[in-house]
Structure 1
Amino acid sequence: MTKNDSDKLIIANKEIAFQNEEKENRAAELNIANKELLYQTSEKKNRAAELVIANKELIFQNSEKEDRAAELVIANKELAFQNEEKEKRAQELIIANRELIFQNEEKEKRASELVLANKELAFQNKEKEKRAVELLTANRELKKAEDDIRVLNEELEQKVTERTAQLLAANKELESFSYSVSHDLRAPIRAINGYTKILVEDYGESFDADGELVLQSIIHNSKKMGELIDDLLAFSKLGRKEVTFSTVNMDELLGEVIAEILPTENENIPKFDIKLLPSAKGDKSLIKQVWINLISNAIKYSSHKKETRIEIGASLKGNQVTYYIKDEGAGFDMQYYDKLFGVFQRLHSQEEFEGTGIGLAIVQKIIHRHNGTIWAESKLTEGTCFHFSLHKA
């Protein structure tokens, strides 16, 4: 409520007080008028009219007072509401001021952090520039190293090509030499063997027991020398033979091999335990030689046993088929395994088991030319198991 309204209200109250006094005066006058009514009859109408007017004025003034009172109540409620709103706004202003102070503090912190970050960024930029310079230097050095390596690789490739050509030429010369030597030795060996037999047939009666023993030794050793030359020729030819791949039915091939090398009936006939053998990719004639050599070895090294038992089987893994041949023969000491596939290397004496020491070297060479592997497991006096792998058909 404004000051003007307050002033009006004060004036209205004074007016009401004045009017109350006037009412009292009018009441007094009314009493006087009633007393004088009899003699003032002529004035009665006038006074009655004035009284009616005064009552109407009084009623109007009372109505105005009630309106002013209602307005005053409303003004007081509005004033109370405005005071409450002012208090709320004051509280909100206090909270806003606190929030503003907090935000200013945060801004100062962020400004400090930003300053530090800018310093760190400037430091990092300097470090990046240093690293960029170092990287450029390293790249130059790396490019130089790559160029050097490229030159070395080209030189190495050239040397490898030259060494490969030299090795191929040396292998061909070696194979040719081996073939020539072996071929040229066959005639003298045959001559020695033939002439020795002639001596035995024509002049045998002229020799005593020691002489006959010497002649028989010459025949035996010339025969052994002939077998050795034959094996050496076979090993030499193997390097020149072209491998022709086809599907090899192992069951049929093994049947052919066993039929060819099976001993006569009056000897220790081997007992075979043959499992199902999957087919493989390979050169049939060469794979046949592998089976012949391995089975022959199994029979030979089991010859001192009462029974010759040989187990043959296979297993599949991925695109490889691995075959095995297991005997219960003499076996060998695994500490000498590195000599097993060497040319002319033997793990048993000639007196114990005959042989030239080339058979397993031939087997290994054939398997390697088929991109396969071959290995063995053995225990002395308990037997041996050979494994070799080929690509399955």
Structure 2
Amino acid sequence: MLPKRQVWPSFSKNELKTIGNVPLEEDIRALSAWLKTANDESIFYTHRLSEIYSPAKKYKSVASGILSCIINREMGEMVIWFKPEMITNVNWAGNPEKSVVPSENGLMSLSPRKSFEIWSEVVNNTSEKWMAEEVDSVLRIREIIIADINKKANEIRLLNEKLQAAYEELDTFSYTVSHDLRTPLTSIKTYAELMLKNKSIDDGGKKMLSRILAGADKMNSLIKEILNLARVGRSEVNFETVNIESLIKDIKSEVWSAYKADHSVLILGQLPNIKGDKTMITQVFTNLIGNAVKYSAMVNEPKIEVSSYIDGGEIIYSVKDNGIGIDNRYYDRVFELFKRMDNVKEIEGSGVGLAIVKRVVEKHHGRVWFESKLNVGSTFFVAFKNR
């Protein structure tokens, strides 16, 4: 059984959690780094830490002794217990540091009368020694933790396999249904267009036929978006160097023409190349820039800014607009399929574009998020690994 005064700093995903009186966080992290490299064993303990790890002298009052248990060396996950310094007096039968002296006959000897005088010495930088029961308890704790981790890992693996199977099945279903819908939809549109040319149909009939055509076009656009989403799920990522600046200039011509956005201004910052699938990356920026143009179209001076910055091992691109913005109540719904916010109901859209963006970015092992304020604008960020 471990003594109650023990503390438990634990590491998980670079997090540090402590209980009780422990050294400072930076000291514990430095100690853990040393433990990972200086010791090959899963369990390590000493009651004289500062003698083998000199930085520990500054916190010897709380950690002269340690008992560490490494759970996962690669991830740096471990549990450490500390014991405080315990200053003691050690009595010796004579001064252990006293040198022998030569006698009159030249032999080296101790004085018989003085040699057994009690010599007391103060010993510091040490803690109570770790008992065998404490070490055994830690070994059992380690076995329990690892068994639980393995159990959870297997559960997660099985769930991921089921999710992947469902994901693939949904992709296949979406692709098949969407593809099969295009044929009858084309027939509806063709016959409606033929009927519009019939001079015997009055204005009321023509008005209804025009609505049929508009509905068919909208459905055709939605089917196209669903097929794009399904293709992303089914396609392998073909990594190549993508010239982002050139790609965005091409997207500008297409988007500005589609939305008749001659009054919108596009501002480009630094846009370094990345490694990715050019077709998929094009979908990402087409959707983000297209949304920026659509949702800022009603302001007096619509402005879209595309720029980037490097943060650690990531290149982070941002697409910023000064449009209607997004209510933060809907933050978790933005990237969901077919989800559209209440304040954009009157603006044309399918609710698929951002779902495509999220799936493409995830296939590239990247991240996507946004910041927004109602009636001020939105900024969408996509982060790709700086390969």
* TM tier relative to shorter chain: 0.5 to 0.7
The answer to whether structure 1 residue 375 and structure 2 residue 381 are counterparts is no
Match for 1:191 among 187, 196, 206?
Answer: 187
Q: Which runs of 5+ in 1 are unaligned?
A: 1-102, 114-127
Mapping of residues 187-336 of structure 1, within 5 Å: 187-202=183-198, 205-209=200-204, 211-263=205-257, 268-336=262-330
Q: Specify whether residues 152 and 338 from structure 1 end up closer, same or farther in structure 2 by C-alpha distance, changes over 3 A only.
A: closer
Corresponding position: 1:175 with 2:167: no
1:1-49: CA deviation from partner (whole Å, max 9, x where unpaired): xxxxxxxxxxxxxxxxxxxxxxxxxxxxxxxxxxxxxxxxxxxxxxxxx
% identity of equivalent residues = 34
Mapped to 2, the partners of 1:169 and 1:254 lie a distance apart of 35
Where does residue 347 of structure 1 map in the other structure? Answer: 341
Distance 1:149 1:355 in 2: 50
CA, structure 1 residues 285+334, in 2 after alignment: closer, same or farther (shift >3 Å)?
same
Per-residue deviation, 1:150: 6.6
Work out the CA distance in 1 between the residues paired with 2:267 and 2:143: 63
Instruction: Check whether the contact 1:268–1:307 (CA below 8 A) recurs between aligned residues.
Output: no
Q: Quick check: 2:256–2:262 contact (8 Å CA) kept in 1?
A: no
1:158 and 1:381 mapped to 2: Cα distance? 47
Counterpart-to-counterpart distance in 2, 1:319 and 1:360:
24
Corresponding position of 2:354: 360
> 3-state DSSP class of the match of 1:355?
coil
Matched residue type, 2:222? L
**CA displacement 1:35-65 (0-9 Å, x = unmatched):** xxxxxxxxxxxxxxxxxxxxxxxxxxxxxxx
Distance 1:150 1:320, change over 3 A: closer
SS of residue paired to 1:388 = strand
**What is the Cα deviation at residue 256 of structure 1?**
2.0
**Partner Cα separation in structure 2 for residue 152 and residue 351 of structure 1:** 48
Contact 1:189 1:222 in 2 (8 A): yes
Cα deviation digits, residues 226-268 of structure 1 (max 9, x gap): 1111111110110111112222222222222223333289753
Q: Deviations over 1:316-353 (max 9, x none)?
A: 22221111121122222222111111110111466521
Label 1:165 to 1:264 Cα distance change in 2 as closer, same or farther (>3 A). Answer: closer
3-state SS in 2 of match to 1:244? coil
| Gap change, CA 1:156 and 1:383, over 3 Å in 2 | closer
What is the alpha-carbon distance in structure 1 between the residues aligned to residue 207 and residue 345 of structure 2? 17
1:392 CA drift (Å): 2.5
Counterpart contact for 1:248–1:280, Cα < 8 Å: yes
Task: Tell me how far apart the structure 1 counterparts of residues 160 and 325 of structure 2 sit (CA, whole Å).
Answer: 39
Contact residue 376 and residue 387 of structure 1 kept, 8 A = yes
Residues 320 and 377 in structure 2, CA contact (< 8 A), matched pair in contact too = yes
Residue by residue over 1:250-289, the C-alpha shift from the partner in whole angstroms, topping out at 9 and shown as x without a partner, is 2222222223333289753322221121222222221111
Deviations 1:162-201 (A, max 9, x none): 4443333222221111111111111222222222223322
- Radius of gyration: which is bigger? 1
Whichever structure has more helix as a proportion of its residues is 1
> CA 1:215–1:271 in structure 2 vs 1: closer, same or farther (change >3 Å)?
same
Q: 1:23-34 alignment to 2 at 5 Å?
A: none
Indicate if the aligned counterparts of 1:278 and 1:392 stay in contact, CA closer than 8 A: no
Tell me, yes or no, if the aligned pair for 2:337 and 2:351 is still in contact at 8 Å. Answer: yes
Query: How many Å separate the matches in 2 of 1:266 and 1:166?
Result: 45
SS at match of 2:296: coil
* Gap runs ≥5 in structure 2: 1-112, 121-128
CA contact (8 A) 1:246 1:282 kept: yes
Contact 1:263/1:269 (CA < 8 Å) preserved in 2?
no
Root-mean-square deviation over aligned CA pairs: 3.4
- Using the alignment, how far apart are the partners of 1:264 and 1:218 within structure 2? 22
Give the TM-score taking structure 1 as reference length. Answer: 0.59
